[in-house]
Chains A and B, each alone.
Chain A
Amino acid sequence: MKRGWLALFVVVTAVSAYAIDAGNAFDDPQMQARYEKITSEVRCLVCQNQTIKDSNAFLADDLRREIRRMLTEGKTDAEIYDFLVVRYGDFVLYRPRMSGKTLVLWIAPFLLIVVGGLVAFKVVRGRMAMPIDDDSDSNQAAG
């Protein structure tokens, strides 16, 4: 039993051996947390559905290095995101900022809910006005 737990412990902790960075980038846990937050918000453009935190593409490697450098230099999170957006465009952020170009991305879901809701409301209202006596067969024929 003891061996089983040990084996489990080894397997679970060994996962960290696959992490992209060899160790913590910063000794200061607060800085490390910021670093991990930022790298998990930034898209790796070579492998578009990965964050640069998860990717071992060398571009992701380069960007992590630049982010570490900027954090060390005392840049704010906003300044770091700015640095990336200026060079790679809005697409580099997994949560793109609200701007003229990305407005539709932010508004579309709410717009669809409202439009869909209105349509559903109208359909249900129409059904309510229908006589109740028609059976399912005639319903299908009408549908």
Chain B
Amino acid sequence: MSRYLIPLLLVAIMIPVFIIGLNRDPSELPSPFLNKPAPEFELPRLKDPSRTVGSADYAGQMVLVNIWATWCAGCRQEHAYLLKLASEADIPIYGLNWRDQRSKALAWLSELGDPYVASGFDEDGRVGIDWGVYGAPETFLISADGIVLYKHLSPLSEMVWQRDFEPRILAAKGSME
């Protein structure tokens, strides 16, 4: 009987390992910036190229940085929720318009509404690389002292917001006081 015990034990260990492994999405990679200072950036504004927008604009504030583009289907999907956040949640949203065309991006914002305090226009993807962006939409939660608290990879929604963002925001605000 005991000779079956070890294989049985091994299988009992392997089953949960495989169940967890198979249910993970291999395209979702942890950001190497997690719990580290967010990269800095400075870019021409999408709406007013003569002015810049960058990390200096939100220093000392907790913010969301949302990577979006008009070619990205998930961005259109989450757009209505971003508008809702912009009007209801007490957190500024900065946009990074990634690898896009200015005319298309401007048309998108005037058609669908603009949830962003401002969007930086990252035409050649240089800032995207600095932020380790590899698929839009991506949303970074950045603390008042400039630390990446969370990075979400896929469209935002009420469910995602309540599950992944709100607890982290509350915890960060709690530790500040």
Known: A58-B125, A62-B124, A62-B125. A87 touches B131 (CB 8 A): yes
Check A45/B134 contact, CB under 8 A, given A87-B32, A91-B29: yes
Establish whether residues B134 and A62, one from each chain, have CB atoms under 8 Å apart when the complex forms.
Answer: no
- A48 to B28 CA separation, bound complex (whole angstroms): 11
Count of interface residues, chain B, beta-carbon cutoff 8 Å: 18
Q: Check B135 against A87 for contact (C-beta < 8 Å).
A: no
Interface string of A67-89 (1 = CB under 8 A from B): 00000000000000000011111
Q: Taking chain B's interface residues, is the majority helix, strand, or loop, or is none over half, making it mixed?
A: loop
The answer to whether A59 has its CB under 8 Å from any CB of chain B is yes
Interface residues of B in 114-159 (CB under 8 A from A): 124-126, 128-132, 134-135
- Sorting the interface of chain A by its residue count into under 10, 10 to 19, 20 to 34 or 35 or more gives 10 to 19
Q: Does B21 contact A (CB under 8 A)?
A: no
Partner-B contacts on A (CB < 8 A): 45-46, 48, 58-59, 62-63, 65-66, 85-89, 91
14 CB-based A-B contacts, threshold 8 Å? A46-B134, A48-B27, A59-B125, A62-B125, A62-B128, A63-B129, A66-B129, A87-B32, A87-B131, A88-B29, A88-B32, A89-B29, A89-B30, A89-B132
Query: Given A59-B125, A88-B134, A89-B32, 10 other A-B contacts at CB below 8 A?
Result: A45-B29, A45-B134, A45-B135, A58-B99, A87-B129, A87-B132, A88-B32, A89-B29, A89-B30, A91-B29
